[in-house]
């Protein structure tokens, strides 16, 4: 079955782009809210640990302080990936975390609920 793309946006209240980037774009930051632990393997692979289960994602593209795009190993050869992108409104300086992800059509609602929960955890732990 082919995965479908969905996108989410979360407004963040932080005057510090670097603090938000650490939370969403680095293994140490992601280990605080996204998984039990996160580390880098071979410079281009993020390894995520959840309840003793390991899942690996290849870094497809990365622009520090802007976005990180990763692809789960099981999605190799497909368009499915996930991206965490920071967008700053130049006029208002409001910051938005834009997430692009892919899921099976019948799992999109569950995936959205998981993202909502994880982002709330990130906001809580980082004062965002």
Close Cβ partners of 79 (under 8 Å, ≥ 6 residues apart): 5, 102
- pTM listed for this prediction: 0.91
Domain 3-126: CATH superfamily, name plus number: START domain (3.30.530.20)
Structural domain boundaries in the chain = 3-126
For 64, the token pair is 């520090």
Taking only the tens place, the pLDDT of each residue in 61-110 is: 999 999 999 999 999 999 999 999 999 988 877 899 999 999 999 999 99
Compute the distance between CA of residue 39 and CA of residue 45 in angstroms, rounded to an integer: 8
């Amino acid at each position: 079955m082919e995965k479908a793309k969905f996108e989410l946006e979360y407004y963040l209240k932080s005057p510090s782009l670097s603090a938000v980037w650490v939370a969403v774009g680095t293994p140490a930051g992601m280990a605080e809210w996204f998984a039990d632990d996160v580390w880098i393997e071979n410079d281009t692979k993020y390894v995520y640990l959840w309840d003793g289960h390991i899942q690996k994602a290849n870094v497809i593209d990365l622009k520090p302080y802007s976005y990180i795009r990763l692809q789960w190993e099981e999605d190799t050869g497909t368009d499915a990936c996930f991206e965490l992108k920071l967008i700053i409104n130049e006029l208002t300086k409001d910051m938005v975390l834009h997430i692009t992800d892919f899921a099976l059509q019948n799992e999109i609602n569950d995936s959205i609920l998981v993202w909502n929960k994880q982002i709330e955890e990130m906001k809580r732990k980082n004062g965002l």
